[in-house]
Amino acid sequence: MIPVMLGVVLVIFVMLSLSPGDPAVQMLGPDATPEQLEELRDDLGLNDPFLVRYVKYVWNLLHGDLGTSYTTKQPVAKEIFERFPTTLLFTTLACIVGAIVGILFGIVSAVKQYTWFDNVSRVIALIGISVPSFWLGLMFIIWFSVGLGWFPSSGFYGPKYWVLPSLTVGLVQASNVMRQTRSAMLDVVRQDYIRTARAKGQSEMKVIFSHELPNALIPIVTVLGMQFGRGMGGSIISEQVFAIPGIGMLMTNAIGNLNYPVVQGGVLVIALSFSIVNLLIDILYAFIDPRIKSLYSGKKRVRKTKNEFVREPGKESAANG
């Protein structure tokens, strides 16, 4: 994970250093003299060779320093972590909506395959994956905020403000989750052990929730993790729609101002949290699937017994005796 993060920093670094814009000109305006610009570039370290800047950035990064924002002169880390909880909350809420709605509809759809319920929810899910979420957000604002006046349209200050943004992103995510849940469940329902469970008279609820769902869970959890990453990334768009003061908003403004440290920091933090979620999901696999768990614990056990056997065969027999 750490090499991947260093790679992410490198990629973003290369991209932004290829950028034709000059932050110094952006900061001082068009009236600045060439000397002033040169001085500022020196101050910002923009005149250093690429490699020097990269190593410096990584070194500072390891000390928890993401640099200083060009516009506000505040430490980037502080600016980002002030806004991070908002984005995290927003993404998590959306994921919760996506998981609940998606898994529920996916299960029912798979259990009642080819009924009207299945057909309707498949069509809705197809619509859901095709709709641009920012447009859906604007439509929700027109209907529920401007039209009906139920929820506020912008900001993120309390549960009332959370509803529309998390519904917008959550329903789009739910469509993806629903499709995955349905196909994963359908893969499972034709297995022999399901027939066995039915044959021994297990109740339908028990068959679905103790036999089918656990076996279908791996692809469902995988898609949930992906949705979380997409939600994090998509925050750069959806926070614009609902004027949510999170990382996405910070980054959009930073891109406009050529405020590179903030852009780098934002991408890095989002990539990092995405990686952490993926790691958690990999760990979760072990809990879901005993086969994966035994793969890891099995290896360890084999190695241990081997070592004991090779090193101290005498002791073992002594202990036994």
Partner 1 sequence: MANNTVKAAPKKNSQAKEVWRRFKKNKLAVAGLVIIFILIIAAILAPVIAPYGYDDQDYSATLIRFSKEHLLGTDNLGRDILSRLLYGSRVSLTIGFISVGIGLVIGGLVGAISGYYGGVLDDILMRIVDIIMAIPSIILAISICAALGPGLINTMIAVGISSIPNYARILRSSILSIKQQEFVEAATAIGASDARIIAKHIIPNSLSGLIVQASMGVGRAIISAASMSFVGLGIQPPNPEWGAMLSFGRTYFRDYGYMVLYPGLFIFIAVLSMNLIGDGLRDALDPRLKR
The residue ranges that bind partner 1 (CB under 8 A) are: 3-5, 7-8, 10-12, 15-16, 18-21, 126-127, 129-132, 134-135, 138-139, 141-142, 146, 229-230, 232-234, 236-237, 240, 251-252, 255-256, 263, 267, 270-271, 274-275
Work out how close the CB of 117 gets to partner 1 at its nearest, in angstroms, rounded to a whole number: 18
Work out how close the CB of 275 gets to partner 1 at its nearest, in angstroms, rounded to a whole number: 5
If 0-12 CB within 10 Å is exposed, 13-18 middle and 19+ buried, where does residue 151 land? middle
Query: What is the CB neighbour count within 10 angstroms for residue 214?
Result: 13
Work out how close the CB of 236 gets to partner 1 at its nearest, in angstroms, rounded to a whole number: 6
Nearer to partner 1, 87 or 215 (CB): 87
Distance CA 207, CA 223 (A): 23
Tell me the torsion sign for CA atoms 120, 126, 131, 136.
positive
> Encoding tokens for residue 201?
């008279």
Distance CA 24, CA 287 (A): 52
Work out how close the CB of 108 gets to partner 1 at its nearest, in angstroms, rounded to a whole number: 20
Token look-up 């920091």 returns 265
Distance CA 83, CA 176 (A): 28
Nearer to partner 1, 44 or 232 (CB): 232
Sequence-ordered strand ranges (E) for the chain: none
* CA–centroid distance for 238 within its chain: 14
Nearer to partner 1, 101 or 232 (CB): 232
Work out how close the CB of 1 gets to partner 1 at its nearest, in angstroms, rounded to a whole number: 9
Compute the half-sphere exposure of residue 84: CA atoms within 13 Å on the CB side of its CA: 17
Work out how close the CB of 126 gets to partner 1 at its nearest, in angstroms, rounded to a whole number: 6
Distance CA 144, CA 151 (A): 6
Work out how close the CB of 276 gets to partner 1 at its nearest, in angstroms, rounded to a whole number: 11
Q: What does the radius of gyration of the chain's CA atoms come to, in whole angstroms? A: 26
Nearer to partner 1, 213 or 216 (CB): 216
Nearer to partner 1, 18 or 205 (CB): 18
Nearer to partner 1, 17 or 297 (CB): 17
Distance CA 300, CA 164 (A): 49
**Which of 53, 181, 211 lies closest to 121 in space, CA to CA?**
181
Nearer to partner 1, 127 or 295 (CB): 127
